[in-house]
Amino acid sequence: KQEVTQIPAALSVPEGENLVLNCSFTDSAIYNLQWFRQDPGKGLTSLLLIQSSQREQTSGRLNASLDKSSGRSTLYIAASQPGDSATYLCAAYNQGGKLIFGQGTELSVKP
């Protein structure tokens, strides 16, 4: 059974800092992994989808990596801004085609 864990649960950084959010999964036989952003009380916004055959994916200041052998994915945010403050969720597809979510990392970027 696929389980997804995100550490830390909360992170506070000063504006301009580069940061890394971590996501680990128990079943290395994943079928793609997706990172989302969720603002308070809102739905999820898709950030990046990494296919199981890829090692990384980039969009603007965001870079996500995937290491299936170690069961880890990271989301790198460069030059963080206060507008990046949100909860970041990773989700891994299991064999049945369902997305399994982690608990999220609540990021606060201080001006």
Binding residues vs other proteins (CB under 8 A): 31-32, 34, 36, 41-46, 49, 52, 89, 91, 93, 97-99, 101-104
CB 38 → other proteins: shortest distance, Å?
A: 9
- Nearer to other proteins (CB atom), residue 38 or residue 63: 38
Burial 5-44 (b: 16+ CB within 10 A, else e): ebeeeebebeeeeebebebbbebeebebbbbbbeeeeeee
Nearest to 22 by CA among 107, 108, 109: 107
Sequence-ordered list of residues with C-beta below 8 angstroms from that of 81, at least 6 positions apart, any chain:
15, 109
Task: Return the number of the residue (15 or 39) whose C-beta is nearest other proteins.
Answer: 39
Nearest distance from residue 18's CB to other proteins, in Å?
Answer: 26
Of residues 25 and 36, the one with the C-beta less far from other proteins: 36
User: Two tokens at 106?
Assistant: 């609540």
Which CB, 18 or 103, lies closer to other proteins? 103
- Considering the complex, what minimum distance in angstroms separates the CB of residue 30 from other proteins? 9
Q: How far is the CB of 45 from other proteins (least distance, A)?
A: 8
